[in-house]
Structure 1
């Protein structure tokens, strides 16, 4: 079903009972000061009930850079390997990756690393854009780096490097990259348009990401006057405009696990549906015990990188505080352009909202609050 959406057209469909979601999406589309590629997909108990999109040249199959939504894919892989007994959360990282023990990091556990407590957010001279695209190179350089705080005593968002670190643990323990595990254990079996490494044949479907309208280029959601750790964590010397990061072919090709994923809303929502409810009659990828372990708050308080009040589970963000109607079990990850993706096991809900332009500060949360509220009303 199609209908007018201001200067754009809202296209797609909603299942019976979710008409309000379509109306909310139309309202979001109308509110944009500049044309934006936008997609919304929702699954309930593994069945897609919402599939909407809008924007110039956009359809339901369009792909764009999803920034930190990529971390959800990366850490679903880690959760599955923990579930299978391949990884142990309470073993030290150095027991898998001996070089990591340099500079006083020998006692950091995988659990502490996933909770953003390791103090290893970057390097003093910052990473170039070419380096940031390559998780293997990031891991090699970070292995020699001293932590910026005593591990376990504080936490700070490892925004562009967390999946390079956890991914190197995966590679050392299994001989296969995190990206390879994602492709063969999750993406390909479920035919998901959510890539950690975009094949060149799919490049014609890629929608470039743009900066926020009439706003300074964002630096990863950092405070207006970045401190030392913010600049290091987001390599602002070499990447003052974070919006361009997935627009480099090298980023998309290598599938950088922290911020280099490429996806559609359909693909991301499908991944979370597979994780919490199962797709096409399959069992959920994550057991209830694994989900409970990975969605328990491990870090809470002031993030020493961003200076904001925050909290982290293990590799995932929790959305109950941000969107209280969801309840405490909603886990997933947001992305810098305003994307949000999550699963709520209690509701059997998987949600993904993806946009191809950075939003003005605060606007994306307002958009998602409206869309999530309409989904919950439909439920």
Structure 2
């Protein structure tokens, strides 16, 4: 069975495949924990329209696999997968072993990891272990070099910390050495120190928080995450990096779609320190799964991420356990300023201390989503909660495509979810 590709020269290495008579049922998994539409205050027709929009995104040929988990009113409405976990990407052949995706497979979240890392910091603040208004240098004095002594934890959470990227020209595998990265960050010169410039911190902030957790709590950020989130919420994955026992189940990432043209290619390289093909290659490397990169390598299933956001909708409660205090959730989701021009992403953005916020009449999470919050991962992974619609959503994809014809289908899927769940 072959991955459906539109009849255009779309991929970097085009596949001469057709979607004629393609049977989506054979590569679709529906989990038994789904509720009927009527049980969550919707119709079965509404539920079906959301899934049809998901299938349309798959049919663009840019996403080898999609996993979706959507909770409505606290209950699972959709929990499904479509496509292949591996063996059916642009550079695979017809003879490659094709592994059908499963709805509960672990997926690398890329930047959607930042939401979890941010809530780790908010949890520490809740415990009184840190004050988010303190300078980073209060906990880690070496960070104060080159005038960074007054940059606060809150500024870095809200992407106003003045250290949006690592120095140019460093080898990509430097990211596997957290001590080397930390030294580079301490030695870096900020673009601002007063929080006046919004510039998305694609990877740097996570390394800062990683060192704060280790210094203050005396444990790794993975150990802290395990103790305060993963175990209490009964997660199977939900770790930075991925344990060896789960790597045979992980979804492979693929660079799909056309090569990003200039200036998009320049913007991507500046933000990530890598192109999309490089990002896909790195994330499939076991060294990436062995290390901890809090801004980019959390592994989780779609259901686990939906569960995480449902906990936030529940004001920090999950199955009778108070994971976060209600005040902590409010602080983490409260807007920090209005829409501002992001100097890294080159678009207007609206953030809280760690989350990407929606807007009115339009925002990151669609139309009339001013109270919604979440985080994207490399453009195509969408994870969010919307208290107005009472939904928590995780759309996890495995295709890394920027300027491609799938974007209208991705936007439409989010629109259909918002419309049917309103």
| TM-score, normalised by the number of residues in structure 1 | 0.87
* 1:169-208 superposed matches below 5 A: 169-192=212-235, 193-208=237-252
Q: 1:207 to 1:284 in 2, by over 3 A?
A: same
Aligned to 1:122: 165
Instruction: Write the distance in 2 (CA, Å) between the matches of 1:354 and 1:342.
Output: 11
2:392 corresponds, among 309, 332, 350, to: 350
Instruction: Write the distance in 1 (CA, Å) between the matches of 2:263 and 2:70.
Output: 32
CA displacement 1:270-324 (0-9 Å, x = unmatched): 1212233267622453333222222233254211223222222111111332334
CA displacement 1:255-282 (0-9 Å, x = unmatched): 3111112222112111212233267622
Contact in 1 for aligned 2:378/2:400 (Cα 8 Å):
yes
Aligned to 2:7: none
SS of the equivalent of 2:254 reads coil
Q: Is 1:72 the counterpart of 2:110 in the alignment? A: no
Instruction: Write the distance in 2 (CA, Å) between the matches of 1:144 and 1:352.
Output: 37
Out of 354-363 and 65-74, give the one that drifted further.
354-363
Out of 162-171 and 88-97, give the one that drifted further.
162-171
Question: For structure 2, which runs of at least 5 residues remain unmatched after alignment?
Answer: 1-20, 85-99
Q: Is 1:27 the counterpart of 2:53 in the alignment? A: yes
CA displacement at 1:152 relative to structure 2: 1.4
SS of the equivalent of 2:192 reads coil
SS of the equivalent of 1:291 reads helix
Instruction: Write the distance in 1 (CA, Å) between the matches of 2:121 and 2:190.
Output: 23
Instruction: Write the distance in 2 (CA, Å) between the matches of 1:70 and 1:186.
Output: 14
Q: 1:375 to 1:125 in 2, by over 3 A?
A: closer
CA displacement 1:113-143 (0-9 Å, x = unmatched): 1111122123433443322234443223201
* 1:1-379 superposed matches below 5 A: 6-9=22-25, 10-12=28-30, 14-17=34-37, 19=44, 20-30=46-56, 31-33=59-61, 36-56=64-84, 57-192=100-235, 193-213=237-257, 215-216=258-259, 223-224=263-264, 226=266, 231-236=269-274, 241-277=278-314, 281-298=319-336, 300-320=339-359, 321-325=363-367, 327-336=369-378, 338-361=380-403, 363-364=406-407, 366-371=409-414, 373-374=416-417, 377-378=420-421
CA displacement at 1:366 relative to structure 2: 4.0
Out of 294-303 and 113-122, give the one that drifted further.
294-303
SS of the equivalent of 1:106 reads coil
Instruction: Write the distance in 2 (CA, Å) between the matches of 1:7 and 1:359.
Output: 24
Contact in 1 for aligned 2:271/2:345 (Cα 8 Å):
no
Q: 1:265 to 1:168 in 2, by over 3 A?
A: same
SS of the equivalent of 1:241 reads helix
Question: For structure 1, which runs of at least 5 residues remain unmatched after alignment?
Answer: none
| TM-score, normalised by the number of residues in structure 2 | 0.79
CA displacement 1:178-218 (0-9 Å, x = unmatched): 222112211122222322121100001011100123x1169
Q: 1:164 to 1:369 in 2, by over 3 A?
A: farther
The number of aligned residues is: 369
Instruction: Write the distance in 2 (CA, Å) between the matches of 1:100 and 1:356.
Output: 36
Contact in 2 for aligned 1:273/1:350 (Cα 8 Å):
yes
RMSD of aligned Cα (Å):
2.8
Q: Which has the larger radius of gyration?
A: 2
CA displacement at 1:6 relative to structure 2: 5.0
SS of the equivalent of 1:164 reads helix
